[in-house]
């Protein structure tokens, strides 16, 4: 049995070193997911804490009493007088104060995306400058700083420390969102590159689910322990720092960037478990020649060069569609959404969303090479459109029919399922396939920036939009999803099983203003045949 298992592992090129290294790398992805989901479950407790620290009276007196009963620590704040009587001026002041608390909470959620948005441009640069291992170690320093700020937030001005901590954690996540897929792709055998690459997304959704579970009030989501919950991401950061010391450097970085063939062979031998690494070396040699023959492209050139304009616009729209679909509103605020829907235990429903997220991410891995990228994206967006409609209908009719809460909850589950089947993972696949070696790094960086920027807009504005639109909020997102579905149908080509030249030809067919190439690099991009 042991011999059979060893033979299977050798044939699939899976070695102990490879498994260990990939596991170490995706600990970053796990932290990424944990940081996304951790702010959700303790939302009401943190808002209550903000109110207490800032001296803002609670509208719900029962919530005030509960907070006083559960509070065991001493907080640096001025407690409002018990006999506070609100005059018209006092009412106006209270409304303003409540608005400040809402703003601080929105910043606590969205500052994470600000850090990621800024750092998304520097992940690749840092990896080339320091190497993949050292870059991940440097990135982890941001994770540790952010976790410490949030972990000690109860001892100082909580809103300031949480917003700062979330921003710095976002910087970490912005860096690793480029570093981890890059590192895994470079150490994986060609036959396993796709499967191992999807582990980045799988680790992210696992982190989201774990954060929701440990955020339960009887674990770490209580009045006494919520700050520990926020700072717990320091644990995988420290573990990864330790494990990275035993991981081999990327052989492609050593060979292509540093031109150190001896070290590259040594790293490959560790990863492959074999002394014969000739095939990998030849592949890297060919990749190096291709990279040196094609110039890198700037952001301005992506939009001014007619060869790249259509693909980059489509690429950005796919990422905008992913974020503006409203799914992150559910990830960030699902507890309050379920509460509005009348669910008695909204936190458990939120955990259900995380579990569905994990299951359908795994399913999408199996489907993406069979059904095609464009097809799955359209199926996912279409399903999300109908789910958003049912979600809002359920919320609107909740006062008339109590069972509508189950309609809303089911719609949320299905909404997340359709998202993970298509719009969740596929934009990252497709952007890399739209561009050749020269423009690809710049296009991916710009796509990542747009993704983080839209993430920030949703995280900052969703609570205000939800307050303004009330139960009709997901009708708005349904309209947005429908618009992007139509855009995808008319403008996005299928990339499954197609070469770069074939994808370029598809863009020419879909573009109403295609122009003939004017430069040699455009001729390479738009190499045509007699039949086009």
- Hey, what's the torsion of the CAs at 469, 475, 479, 484, to 10 degrees? 100
> 494 burial class (0-12, 13-18, 19+ CB within 10 angstroms)?
middle
pLDDT at 421: 83
Helices (H), 422-517: 426-434, 440-469, 473-491, 500-510
- For residue 141, CA distances in Å to 28, 128, 146, 403 come to 12, 18, 9, 48
Q: Are 280 and 251 contacting, i.e. CB atoms less than 8 angstroms apart?
A: yes
**pLDDT given at position 34:** 93
Cβ atoms 66, 217 nearer than 8 A: no
- State how far the Cα of 107 lies from the Cα of 126, in Å rounded to an integer: 27
- Per-range mean pLDDT, top range of 53-57, 451-455, 476-480, 502-506: 476-480
Q: Are 504 and 436 a contacting pair, CB within 8 Å?
A: no
Please, are residues 492 and 318 in contact by the beta-carbon 8 Å criterion? Answer: yes
Q: Which of 247-261, 364-378, 410-424 has the lowest mean pLDDT?
A: 364-378
Q: Write out the two tokens for 109.
A: 């959620």
Q: What angle do CA 137, 143, 145 make, to 5 degrees?
A: 110
In this structure, the number of other CB atoms found within 10 A of the CB of residue 14 comes to 18
- d(CA 325, CA 382) in angstroms, rounded, equals 11
Contacts of 221 (CB under 8 A, 6+ apart): 41, 42, 45, 214, 215, 229, 347
Mean pLDDT lowest among 257-266, 332-341, 386-395, 516-525? 516-525
Please tell me the pTM assigned to this model. Answer: 0.75
Look at residue 258 and give its three-state secondary structure. Answer: coil
Q: How many CA atoms lie within 13 A of 353 on its CB side?
A: 30
**Crossing angle for the helix pair 16-37 and 132-151, to the nearest 10 degrees:** 30
Distance CA 303, CA 306 (A): 7
Give the tokens for residue 220.
Answer: 């770490």
Average pLDDT on 11-17 reads 72
pLDDT reported for residue 210? 93
The reported pLDDT for the residue numbered 482 is: 95
* Whole-angstrom distance, CA of residue 162 vs CA of residue 146: 8
Q: Are 359 and 416 in contact (CB under 8 A)?
A: no
When comparing pLDDT for 93 and 112, which is higher? 112
Say if residue 134's pLDDT is above 90.
yes
Average pLDDT, the chain: 79
Contact between 522 and 306 under an 8 Å Cβ cutoff? The reply is yes
Distance CA 443, CA 436 (A): 10
Query: What pLDDT is stored for residue 332 in this prediction?
Result: 62
């Amino acid at each position: 049995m042991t011999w059979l298992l060893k033979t299977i592992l050798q044939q699939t090129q899976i070695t102990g070193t490879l498994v260990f290294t990939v596991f170490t790398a995706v600990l970053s992805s796990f932290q990424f997911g944990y940081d996304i989901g951790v702010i959700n479950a303790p939302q009401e407790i943190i808002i209550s804490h903000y109110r207490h620290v800032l001296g803002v009276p609670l509208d719900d007196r029962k919530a005030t009493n509960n907070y006083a009963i559960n509070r065991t620590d001493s907080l640096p704040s001025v407690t409002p007088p018990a006999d506070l009587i609100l005059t018209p001026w006092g009412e106006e002041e209270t409304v303003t104060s409540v608005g400040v608390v809402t703003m601080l909470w929105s910043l606590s959620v969205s500052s994470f995306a600000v850090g990621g948005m800024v750092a998304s441009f520097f992940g690749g640069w840092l990896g080339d400058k320091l190497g993949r291992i050292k870059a991940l170690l440097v990135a982890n320093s941001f994770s540790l700083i952010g976790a410490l700020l949030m972990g000690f937030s109860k001892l100082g001005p909580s809103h300031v420390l949480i917003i700062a901590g979330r921003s710095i954690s976002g910087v970490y996540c912005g860096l690793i969102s480029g570093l981890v897929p890059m590192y895994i792709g470079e150490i994986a055998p060609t036959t396993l590159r796709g499967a191992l690459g999807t582990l980045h997304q799988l680790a992210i959704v696992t982190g989201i689910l774990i954060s929701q579970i440990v955020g339960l009030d009887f674990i770490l989501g209580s009045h006494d322990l919520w700050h520990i919950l926020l700072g717990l991401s320091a644990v995988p950061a420290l573990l990864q720092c330790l494990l990275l010391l035993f991981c081999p450097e990327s052989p492609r970085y050593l060979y292509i960037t540093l031109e150190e063939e001896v070290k590259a062979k040594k790293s490959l031998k560790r990863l492959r478990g074999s002394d014969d690494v000739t095939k990998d070396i030849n592949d890297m040699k060919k990749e190096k020649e291709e990279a040196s023959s094609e110039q890198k492209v700037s952001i301005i050139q992506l939009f001014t060069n007619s060869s790249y304009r259509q693909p980059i616009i489509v690429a950005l729209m796919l990422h905008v569609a992913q974020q503006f679909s409203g799914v992150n509103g559910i990830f960030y605020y699902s507890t309050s959404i379920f509460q509005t829907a009348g669910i008695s235990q909204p936190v458990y429903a939120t955990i259900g969303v995380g579990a569905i997220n994990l299951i359908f991410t795994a399913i999408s891995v199996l489907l993406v090479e069979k059904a095609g990228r464009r097809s799955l994206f359209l199926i996912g967006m279409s399903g999300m459109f109908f789910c958003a409609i049912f979600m809002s209908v359920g919320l609107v009719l909740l006062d008339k029919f109590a069972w509508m809460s189950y309609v809303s909850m089911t719609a949320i589950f299905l909404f997340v399922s359709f998202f993970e089947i298509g719009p969740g993972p596929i934009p990252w696949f497709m952007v890399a396939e739209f561009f050749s070696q020269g423009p690809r790094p710049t296009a991916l960086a710009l796509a990542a920036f747009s993704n983080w920027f839209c993430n920030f807009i949703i995280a900052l504005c969703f609570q205000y939009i939800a307050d303004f639109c009330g139960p009709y909020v997901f009708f708005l997102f349904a309209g947005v999803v429908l618009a992007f579905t139509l855009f995808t149908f008319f403008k996005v080509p299928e990339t499954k099983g197609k070469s770069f030249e074939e994808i370029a030809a598809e863009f020419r067919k879909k573009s109403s203003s295609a122009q003939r190439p004017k430069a040699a690099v455009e001729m390479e991009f738009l190499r045509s045949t007699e039949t086009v």
